[in-house]
Amino acid sequence: MAVHIPGALVDAAYAGVGRPTLFRLGGGDPEVAHETTLDWLAWWGRTPARRALLELAFGSRGTPVEVAGIRFGGPVGLAAGMDKDARALMAWARLGFSHVEFGTVTGQPQPGNPKPRMFRLRPSHGVINRMGFNNAGSEAIAARLELAGVRRGNHAAGMPVGVSIGKTKVVALADAVEDYLSSLRRLVHLVDYLAINVSSPNTPGLRSLQGADELSGLVRALVDEAAVQAEESSQSTLGPVPVFVKIAPDLEWSAIDQALEVCAAAGAAGIIATNTTLGRDGLAPEDRPLAGQAGGLSGAPLTARALEVVSYVTAHTDLPVIGVGGIMTADDARAMLQAGASLVQIFTGFIYSGPGLVRDINRLTTDRLAVPRG
């Protein structure tokens, strides 16, 4: 039987030492804390012995769930953007995550926006970011997955792997489909699912791809190409790779209706709701000076809106929904699951609460009767 360090100790260590240390790094620059966390986790993930120690300290498991034909070991994944290039690929499952959405990666490598581009809103428990898809490109992440022995369906990273794909900034919107397709072709045999990111606020024009015609063309092109690739592949028994679509929380209900219709008709496997918001509601007075920073807001100020959108989406589509946005506590995750989400993902909650949040969400599904599903 696995021995674990008591959860209360993990939580106290993160709140008392881990988080204050991370929040002080680089003179309080959140991107330095982010990079350090990735370096640290990549190191811990590098050998079987280190991975076993990570698991000993933080490991937890939820109740398995099947979504879009993929078996997930528990309800909670890491949202896109935390580990864009899959640097800590082998560590995440040991923290209790049932999947990670790596990326967003683009067809070509790109540096992202000038720094600073990430801002911590501590009193509000939020983050504003305008990273702008800084990433090494879809070819580089494919090479990293391949080197680690990750192939579609083999769970070599200890979990299913998703990759979010987006548009390269210098590629014109009119050529977006080809840019997404180039990433799909590189990744289709390696990943368990792909997520189409059309909802980041930080690539000019990207969100216009959520419009019915644009979205229909894009999703159809990717779903069709996934089918072609599956036919030609030695993995053809697995069928085409599932393609999810991630939407923004700032869409009107009518635009969500259209997007859902288009996604279902085009053969998308599910919806991920939501990305960050351009709204600035719910900020603590001390954070008002930062409200003017351009970028997407995540964390506690997004909790209510993301839940509202997830509730709407689950009520208006038969597609499975991955709920993300402002999940800062296990109760927030419970609300998303009760609203009908099949899985949840976290990002900003992981920054503020640390690995204990993953364990607490897993526990929701292992404690009997904890989550009466909606």
Ligand X SMILES: Cc1cc2nc3c(=O)[nH]c(=O)nc-3n(C[C@H](O)[C@H](O)[C@H](O)COP(=O)(O)O)c2cc1C
Q: Which of 90, 131, 194, 266 contacts ligand X by CB under 6 A?
A: 131
Closest approach, Cβ 153 to ligand X, in A, equals 23
Would you count residue 343 as binding ligand X (CB under 6 A)? no
Encoding tokens for residue 182?
Answer: 């180039």
Q: Considering only 136-144, 182-190, 347-355, 356-364, which stretch makes contact with ligand X by CB under 6 A?
A: 347-355
Q: Which of 79, 187, 321, 322 binds ligand X (CB under 6 A)?
A: 79
**What are residue 321's DSSP bridge partners?**
271
275: contact with ligand X by CB under 6 A: yes
**Residue 51 or residue 129: which is nearer to ligand X going by CB?**
129
Residue nearest to ligand X (CB): 81
**Which of helix, strand or coil describes residue 118?**
strand
Q: How many residues bind ligand X (CB under 6 A)?
A: 28
**In the range 293-322, which residues lie near ligand X by CB under 6 A?**
298-299, 302
Rounded-to-integer distance, Cα 302 and Cα 334, Å: 16
Rule CB under 6 A: is residue 68 a binding residue for ligand X?
Answer: no
* Distance in angstroms (rounded) separating the CA atoms of residues 34 and 291: 21
In this structure, are residues 364 and 335 in contact, taking their beta carbons and an 8 Å threshold?
Answer: no
Q: Residue 103: is it exposed, middle or buried by C-beta count within 10 angstroms (0-12/13-18/19+)?
A: buried
Q: Are 358 and 329 in contact (CB under 8 A)?
A: no
Write the DSSP assignment of 150-208 as a string of letters. Answer: --TTT-TTSS-EEEEEE--TTS-GGGHHHHHHHHHHHHTTT-SEEEEE---TTSTTGGG
The reply on whether position 347 binds ligand X by CB under 6 A is yes
Neighbours of 158 (CB within 10 A): 18
Please report whether residue 197 would count as binding ligand X according to CB under 6 A. Answer: yes
Is residue 104 a contact residue for ligand X (CB under 6 A)? Answer: yes
Q: Which is nearer to ligand X, 302 or 313 (CB)?
A: 302
Would you name the residues annotated as active-site residues? 200
Q: Which of 246, 280, 305, 334 binds ligand X (CB under 6 A)?
A: 246
Number of H helices, E strands in the chain: 13, 13
The site for ligand X (CB under 6 A) is made up of 79-81, 84, 103-104, 118, 127, 129, 131, 133, 164, 197, 200, 246, 275-276, 298-299, 302, 324-327, 346-349
